[in-house]
Amino acid sequence: MNTSVLIDVINQYGYFGIAFLIAIENIFPPIPSEVILAFTGFITLSSELNVWGSIIAATLGAIIGATVLYAVGHFLSVERLQKILAGRWGKTLRLKPADIEKAAAFFNRHGGSAVFFGRFVPVIRSLISIPAGMTGYPFGRFIAFSTAGTLIWNTVLIFVGRLSGKAWPHIVALIETYGKIALVVLIIVMLGCFLFWRKKKNAKN
């Protein structure tokens, strides 16, 4: 979505526009929340929008989007994945239904941290809702951790946009660079953990 379109929506629809855009951003990660939030902070300097109302609208939008993806994950479910892995796909990926059970157990033990800290990483902050729903992570706890992480992210970005004034696009560029680096580092770490787990599993076999 073009940046100018995002700006026009916020200018025209105010808090509703903010909530709508952030909800869509959570469902479709390529839409940049950094741009939405930073511009929202900037526009509070010259419009009827205020900082705290914008933070609340953005947080509500994020929770709506996260809930949609949680529901998608819940529909997929661990059982459906196990059935898929019991067939040809399981052999192709060299994964067994039991591996999904272990992953679900791991998420249920550490899911709160994953959901909370995942809100600060691009793409991950959206996709983390799917395994939460898939593994049956308690919805109440999911919403609590999602709200806490999202509230911090929204508050920081909106205040950054307000404090940076007309320089907000330059600040957004820096934040997006940080986000890309964080995502790459996270992928490398996850890949390393996966390879270590596979090596350990093969050694046992």
Note the pLDDT tens digit of each residue in 142-191: 999 999 999 998 998 888 888 877 766 666 666 666 656 555 665 666 56
DSSP letters, 159-202, are HHHHHHGGGHHHHHHHHHHHHHHHHHHHHHHHHHHHHHHHHHHH
The per-residue pLDDT for 94 is 52
pLDDT-derived band at 93 (thresholds 50, 70, 90) equals very low
DSSP percent split of the chain into helix, strand, coil, nearest 5: 85, 0, 15
Note the pLDDT tens digit of each residue in 65-77: 999 989 988 887 6
The total number of structural domains in the chain stands at 1
> Domain limits at 74?
3-204
What average pLDDT does this structure show over 16-35?
82
Whole-prediction pTM value? 0.71
The per-residue pLDDT for 146 is 92
For 174-186, give the secondary structure using H, E and C.
HHHHHHHHHHHHH
- CA neighbor of 57 nearest in space, from 116, 9, 93: 9
